[in-house]
Structure 1
Amino acid sequence: MDVLHECCCGLDVHKKSITACIITPKGKEIKTFGTMTRNLIELVDWIKNSRCTHVAMESTGDYWKPIYNLLEVEDLQPLLVNAQHIKAVPGRKTDVKDAEWITRLLRHGLVQGSFVPDRDQRELREIVRYRRSIIEERAREVNRIQKVLEGGNIKLASVASNILGVSARNMLEAILQGEKDTEVLADFAQKKLKAKKDDLKLALEGRLGEHQVLMIEKQLGHIDYLDDLIKELDEEIEKRMLPFVEDLELLDSIPGVGRRIAQQIIAEVGTDMSRFPTPGHLCSWAGMTPGHDESAGKKKSAKTRKGNKKLRSALTEAAKAASRQKNTYLSAQYHRIAARRGKNRAAIAVGHTILSLVHILLTRKQAYVDLGFDYLEQRKKEIIVKQSIKKLESLGLTVTIREQTAS
């Protein structure tokens, strides 16, 4: 095989140690370093002194990040490689052999680096992911409050759609203050909930113990803290998103894609679509395309491959939101697939379409134009007419087709 890089380095990264192998025309050299900052600086200096032009490492957890940051600053062209793509021969695995194997693959150009965005986008991505985890934690805390209320037979969730809405929150605060009169508690109902006062009185007749009151008080305090934290993160993200205001507006025009989902898509993918030649490449990288597993002419499981879990989660959420909108192409696509293949597969398929639209909109710099809920039916109009006539004739009916005249 041809040698593409005369002097290169491979790193086998672990939590407490890094095994490095450098191969040059003069020979091979292997060293082991610690993972403290001082050790990493020594590693980078050793690589520079050896005049290496390329460095490759496995994407091991989060341990690769500080090494990558230092190598990036020194312009050593680091490559982050998927571990599944560089598996060596089974049964002959050591840290030294792994580092040497990575180096040899890199030297002959047999490894391909994973997509790693620039430093600014990586920082934005970490903040956006942290906000999402905080939002998920808030949802878990709300479920814990619901569990405590059910334990005291307070059936507030059976009447109010949101147990932390203005009305329900005022009721919970009154309960924490010791109020037990259901008539007084039901009077906190506002707007549409006023019409359900009788149901509220029945739902609030439960009994909460002292420990349950204490738990609800702490849980509400935790939710308030999380709300403040989410608000602070929103403000920071908005500042960092100022260069991408136009791109956010473009993505926000897609049904099901709200402001936060648009921010997460940009944080994960970026706005430069030139790194993905086609929408299909982007969807494949994100793990939103069916897999290919065929042998001897037999097709096996076509489940989606592993990809960007955070992006996949956001796209699935957007797909389910799009399915609840009326008279849109994405909604029609979801319900058409869900009827045949189930809701989960439909959500992935619509998420795939949304991500394809992201690539197209960011490339063309134009807003989304909906095709309409009957787009597919119009494309297959003749087929649908023939199938319908055939079914009616099988029932013994005579069918006459006539074009509808415009009134």
Structure 2
Amino acid sequence: MSASINNGIIKLAATFSSCLSRASHPDCRATDIAALRAYLRLRERHLDYAAAHIQHMQKALTFMNLQLHHVVTDVTGATGMRIIRAIVAGERDPGVLAAMRDRNCRSSVEAIRAALVGNYLPEHVFALQQALALYDFYQTRVDECDAQIQRTLALLAADKPIPQEPLTKARNRAQQPNALSFDVRGLMYQLAGVDLTQIHGIGSYLAVRLVAECGTDLSRWPTAKHFTSWLTLSPGCKVSGGKVLSSHTRKTTNRVAALLRLAAVTVGKTSTALGAFYRRLAARIGKAKAVTATARKIAVLFYNAMRFGMQYADPGADHYEQRYKERAIKQLHRRAAEFGFCLQPAEGVS
């Protein structure tokens, strides 16, 4: 009897020990990354389905001659959803509906009231009710996915030490659309060891998606060039007989490359070094190539941050422009020296 009890205790201790070491086991970590990737892709699918029903709501409103989309930026925002839910509940007075305006809405109460004078036919109200119910259904599914994503991130970050330096303030405090419903920055900071959101173009949600697609161990790519080549963001090299036939990037269905291209388009509108880089290339070689080149730069920054713990600090657009000017002047001096000339700065020009 005592031998069986001892064997049972040993088995329980072994099970407890395996549970403690689960997060640090490479196979379990890969399993958790795969689970995180599956949850995020499922969440994206639910958001796509919800977006279709947003269009159905807008169509029903248009049939009722309610021009809500002209007075609010997003019909699924605070003002829009209050008004839509009130219409479905039976409210028809434009004044009462306009009074539901959120204080942050840019349109006035009078403009909203004028946009809500319609016919309210029963069949269109019914279509609006159906679309709203389906939208709420998928939003509930998204919240459930968020709970699973939070649990998986907590498992991945369980064996990671808490960084000594506190997490810096977010660069963008505005709530992003379709953002995760929990504090993802803290978990990602502990998991990655660096604040990936300090890289311009990478927000909290994009950082999670990049980690889910690439994993936390980027050593499988020896250098950043290997990583960008895998992403098909580096120039191609079709050579025949010593002649370069094409240097276009390869076509791909890589999700990470698509995400980084979207980030490059966004960062191109900012007053940052990456934004200045994008705008200069766009003016010289076109926007399509500028998007690819900027996406490659963001990919290199992400690789260096994840693998080597590099802390990114934006030097600013002015710093980039100054460096570009210095390189251009240096090139002009070199070309002039090749032809036997010496450049001199004009008087009064620095």
Q: TM-score, normalising length from structure 1?
A: 0.61
Question: Deviation string for 1:182-201 (max 9, x for gaps)?
Answer: 22221111214375222212
Over 3 Å counting, the alpha-carbon distance change for 1:215 and 1:195 in structure 2 is closer
**From 102, 118, 131, the counterpart of 2:43:** 131
Matched residue, 1:239: 151
Over 3 Å counting, the alpha-carbon distance change for 1:287 and 1:300 in structure 2 is closer
Matched residue, 1:172: 84
Over 3 Å counting, the alpha-carbon distance change for 1:364 and 1:212 in structure 2 is same
Letter in 2 for 1:250: D
Separation of aligned partners in 2, 1:382 and 1:249: 32
The alignment partner of 2:216 has SS state of: coil
Which has the larger displacement, 378-387 or 340-349? 378-387
**From 354, 360, 366, the counterpart of 2:304:** 360
2:248 matches 1:306:
no
The answer on whether the counterparts of 1:377 and 1:384 sit within 8 Å (CA) in structure 2 is no
Structure 2, unpaired ranges of 5+? 1-28, 158-187, 333-344
Over 3 Å counting, the alpha-carbon distance change for 1:320 and 1:299 in structure 2 is same
Over 3 Å counting, the alpha-carbon distance change for 1:357 and 1:386 in structure 2 is closer
Question: How many Å apart are 1:287 and its aligned residue?
Answer: 2.4
The alignment partner of 2:317 has SS state of: coil
The answer on whether the counterparts of 2:232 and 2:249 sit within 8 Å (CA) in structure 1 is no
Over 3 Å counting, the alpha-carbon distance change for 1:347 and 1:399 in structure 2 is same
Matched residue, 1:16: none
Separation of aligned partners in 1, 2:218 and 2:55: 39
The alignment partner of 2:316 has SS state of: coil
2:347 matches 1:400:
yes
Over 3 Å counting, the alpha-carbon distance change for 1:177 and 1:234 in structure 2 is closer
Matched residue, 1:193: 105
Separation of aligned partners in 2, 1:278 and 1:145: 49
Question: Deviation string for 1:337-384 (max 9, x for gaps)?
Answer: 333444444333222211111111112113212132134322232465
Question: Which structure 2 residues correspond to residues 221-236 of structure 1 after superposition, within 5 A?
Answer: 221-236=133-148
The answer on whether the counterparts of 1:291 and 1:305 sit within 8 Å (CA) in structure 2 is no
The alignment partner of 1:118 has SS state of: helix
**From 274, 280, 305, the counterpart of 1:330:** 274
The answer on whether the counterparts of 2:232 and 2:250 sit within 8 Å (CA) in structure 1 is yes
Question: How many Å apart are 1:270 and its aligned residue?
Answer: 1.0
Separation of aligned partners in 2, 1:382 and 1:401: 18
Separation of aligned partners in 1, 2:66 and 2:318: 46
Q: Which of the pair is proportionally richer in strand?
A: 1
Question: Deviation string for 1:4-54 (max 9, x for gaps)?
Answer: xxxxxxxxxxxxxxxxxxxxxxxxxxxxxxxxxxxxxxxxxxxxxxxxxxx
2:161 matches 1:217:
no
What root-mean-square deviation, in Å, do the aligned CA atoms of Structure 1 and Structure 2 show? 2.8
Question: Which structure 2 residues correspond to residues 134-173 of structure 1 after superposition, within 5 A?
Answer: 134-173=46-85
Structure with greater Cα Rg: 1
Matched residue, 1:289: 234
**From 197, 204, 209, the counterpart of 1:252:** 197
The answer on whether the counterparts of 1:286 and 1:307 sit within 8 Å (CA) in structure 2 is no
Question: How many Å apart are 1:387 and its aligned residue?
Answer: 11
How many matched pairs? 276
Separation of aligned partners in 1, 2:312 and 2:108: 41
Over 3 Å counting, the alpha-carbon distance change for 1:295 and 1:205 in structure 2 is farther
Separation of aligned partners in 1, 2:76 and 2:253: 35
Question: How many Å apart are 1:219 and its aligned residue?
Answer: 1.6
Matched residue, 1:261: 206
Separation of aligned partners in 1, 2:63 and 2:252: 40
Separation of aligned partners in 1, 2:143 and 2:193: 19
Percent identity of paired positions between Structure 1 and Structure 2: 29
Question: How many Å apart are 1:261 and its aligned residue?
Answer: 0.8
The answer on whether the counterparts of 2:99 and 2:109 sit within 8 Å (CA) in structure 1 is yes
Over 3 Å counting, the alpha-carbon distance change for 1:399 and 1:282 in structure 2 is same
Separation of aligned partners in 2, 1:351 and 1:223: 33
Over 3 Å counting, the alpha-carbon distance change for 1:248 and 1:135 in structure 2 is farther
The answer on whether the counterparts of 1:159 and 1:203 sit within 8 Å (CA) in structure 2 is yes
Letter in 2 for 1:187: A
Letter in 2 for 1:400: E
The alignment partner of 1:369 has SS state of: coil
Structure 1, unpaired ranges of 5+? 1-116, 389-397
Matched residue, 1:182: 94
Over 3 Å counting, the alpha-carbon distance change for 1:136 and 1:353 in structure 2 is farther
Which has the larger displacement, 216-225 or 136-145? 136-145
Over 3 Å counting, the alpha-carbon distance change for 1:177 and 1:253 in structure 2 is same
Separation of aligned partners in 1, 2:121 and 2:288: 41
Question: Deviation string for 1:255-276 (max 9, x for gaps)?
Answer: 1211111111111111212100
Matched residue, 1:206: 118
Over 3 Å counting, the alpha-carbon distance change for 1:149 and 1:338 in structure 2 is farther
The answer on whether the counterparts of 2:228 and 2:300 sit within 8 Å (CA) in structure 1 is yes
